[in-house]
Amino acid sequence: MTASLELIRDLIAIPAPPGQESALCDWLQNRLTQIGYTSERDSKGNVLVTLDGGNSAPSILVTAHLDEIALMITKIESDGKIRVAELGGVYTWKWGESPVQILASGGSIPAVLSYGCIHTNSEESVVEYARHNPLPFKKAFLFTGKSHEELAALGVRPGVRVVLGKERRVVTEFGDYVASYFLDDRADIAVWLMALERFKAEGYTYPGKIVFCASASEEVGGEGARYALTRFPADICVALEIGPRTPEADFPIDANPVIWVRDGYAAMEAKDGQLLEECCAEEGITPHWQYLSRGGSDASCSSALGLTARPVTLAFPTENSHGYEIMHKDAPDELLRLFLAYLRRVARG
C-alpha cells in the first residue's frame, strides 16, 4: 500500500483553494483509476466513488476535503497593488509576508504578500496600525511588479483566487514528526485514498451503500459535502479531519486518533460514541476524545442542516491549525486503522 507521507507530499504540492480544486481533482481521479476505481466529479467539484454492498447496513458518506484556506482578490489599484480578503479561516499572522500564486485565467502569476516597511512611525503605514490593532488582510497587498493594465490582460480581477506559493508547499520531517501547511486536509485525503486501496487489496465490501467523497469548498462552510448529501442521502457522515490541540483538549501530538465529541455545529450521537469506544477496545487503540469549542467538519456542518442523522468526525492530533501544522508521522496510519474498525463495527449492527 502507498506510504502516507508519499501521498501527502504529492497532495500538498497541488493548489486547491475553495471553488477551484480542479487540478487536485484531476490528480485524484487519475490515482483512483490506477487503483482500479471508477470515480465521478459532480457539479460542485466533489470527487466521488460509490460502492454498494447491496444489504441494509446504514448508508455512509465518507469525506475528506480537497480545499485549502486561501485568499481572494477584492481590488486592483491604479498602481498595480492588489488587495485581498480571506477565503476560509486564514490569518495574517499565520502566513506573514510570503510568496503566493495568483491563479488567473491567463496562468499562475507569482506575487509576494506584503505589508510594507517597519522603519516608520507614520500613521499612514501598515506597521503603525499593526502596533495598536489586530492586522486584517485588507491592510495587506500583493506585489507583482506589473501594472494595472498588464494584470488586467492576464485575467487578474476581483474574485480570482490566491494561494500560498510553491516555495512553501513543502513537507518538513524531524524525528517522529511531520510538518507542513495544509495537512488539513491533505493528510486526510491520503487516509481516504489508503482506505480505498485497502478495500481493493483485501476484497472488502461494506454490506450497504458507502460513498467516498473528496469534498470541495469545506473551508467556506462544508458546501461540497452538503451538496453531495442532497444527491446521496446518508444515515452517517464520517469526516476525516485534524484534531487541533487546544486548552480544552491538551493531548500530546502522538499517533493516537482523535474523536470529536462535539464542535461548533453538532454533537456526535451517543450511539456512535459507544461504537467507537468498542472499536478502540477491540483494536487496542487509546483515542483522544475532543470537545472542540470552535470549528466544524463536513459531518457536523451537514448534521446541523439535517442532511445526515449521525455526524462522526475522526481525526489525528495536530499542533497548530490553519498554519504550519505538525503531526506524528504514524498518525495517518492509526487514523486509517480506527476508521476501518468503525466501518466493520457499524456493519455488524
The pLDDT value recorded for residue 349 is: 83
Closest CA to 61 of 229, 254, 263, 245: 229
The answer, yes or no, to whether residue 1 has pLDDT greater than 70, is no
Q: What percent of the chain has pLDDT over 70?
A: 100
220 pLDDT more than 80: yes
Q: What is the pLDDT at residue 54? A: 86
The label of the residue with cell 496510519 reads 333
- What are the percentages of helix, strand and coil residues in the chain, rounded to 5? 30, 30, 40
Chain position carrying cell 504514524: 330
SS (H, E, C) 126-156: HHHHHCCCCCCHHHCEEECCCCHHHHHHCCC
- Taking only the tens place, the pLDDT of each residue in 79-95 is 999 999 999 999 999 99
Question: The whole model's pTM is what?
Answer: 0.96
The stretch 224-237 carries a mean pLDDT of 97
Q: Do the beta carbons of residue 243 and residue 254 sit within 8 Å?
A: no
Q: What is the pLDDT of residues 87-124, one digit of tens each?
A: 999 999 999 999 999 999 989 999 999 999 999 999 99
Residue 110 backbone phi and psi in degrees, to 5: -70, 145
Query: Tell me: the pLDDT tens digits for 307-334?
Result: 999 999 999 999 999 999 999 999 999 9
CB atoms closer than 10 angstroms to residue 251: 15
Residue 327 is predicted with a pLDDT of 98
pLDDT tens for 13-62 read 999 999 999 999 999 999 999 999 999 999 999 999 999 998 889 999 99
The answer on pLDDT for 141 being more than 80 is yes
